[in-house]
């Protein structure tokens, strides 16, 4: 598991005063990248070889300006060409889960413009951080 803390900025809220739905996807993206950085797999853009194929976010309860959020990221599946991540977004002040997300990333060769198997050295790192749900 990897944990990222986010302080909700005013610009991330909407006219109703809660976190705008698009902001959650920004939090999830940052959490994914920090997860990969922690594994040593996202040090520079030239070596990046994953493409976001799918993402989803379920909104459980409302979040608000100036809340401190904890985005917990888990690697839940590693396949031949892809991996799946799950995210829990929790309000640090209350401990309440406000959203849950998932993402599927595909190993992608940007030069050839096609998917390819995850290199074995990367796959080993991913598998070592696999959490079964």
76 vs 86: CA distance, rounded Å: 7
pLDDT tens-digit profile of 2-55?
Answer: 999 999 999 999 988 899 999 999 999 999 999 999 988 876 677 788 999 999
Q: 55: closest CA among 79, 87, 77?
A: 87
Q: What is the pTM of this model?
A: 0.91
pLDDT tens-digit profile of 70-104?
Answer: 999 999 999 999 999 999 999 999 999 999 999 99
**Which fold would CATH assign to domain 2-128?**
Thiol Ester Dehydrase; Chain A (3.10.129)
pLDDT score for 40: 86
pLDDT above 70 for 1: yes
86-95, Cβ contacts within 8 angstroms, sequence gap of 24 or more = 86/133, 87/28, 87/31, 89/24, 89/27, 89/28, 89/63, 91/63, 91/67, 92/5, 92/67, 92/68, 93/67, 93/68
Mean pLDDT of 108-122: 93
* Domain boundaries defined on the chain: 2-128
Mean pLDDT of 114-119: 95
């Amino acid at each position: 598991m990897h944990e990222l803390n986010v302080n909700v900025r005013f610009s991330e809220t909407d006219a109703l005063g809660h976190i705008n739905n698009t902001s959650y996807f920004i939090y999830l993206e940052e959490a994914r990248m920090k997860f990969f950085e922690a594994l040593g797999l996202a040090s520079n853009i030239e070596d990046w070889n994953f493409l976001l194929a799918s993402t989803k976010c379920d909104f459980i309860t409302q979040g608000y300006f100036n809340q401190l959020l904890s985005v917990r990221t888990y690697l839940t599946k590693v396949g031949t060409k892809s991996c799946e991540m799950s995210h829990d977004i929790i309000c640090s002040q209350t401990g309440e889960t406000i959203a849950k997300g998932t993402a599927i990333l595909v190993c992608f060769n940007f030069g050839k413009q096609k998917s390819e198997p995850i290199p074995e050295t990367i796959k080993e790192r991913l598998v070592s951080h696999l959490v079964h749900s």
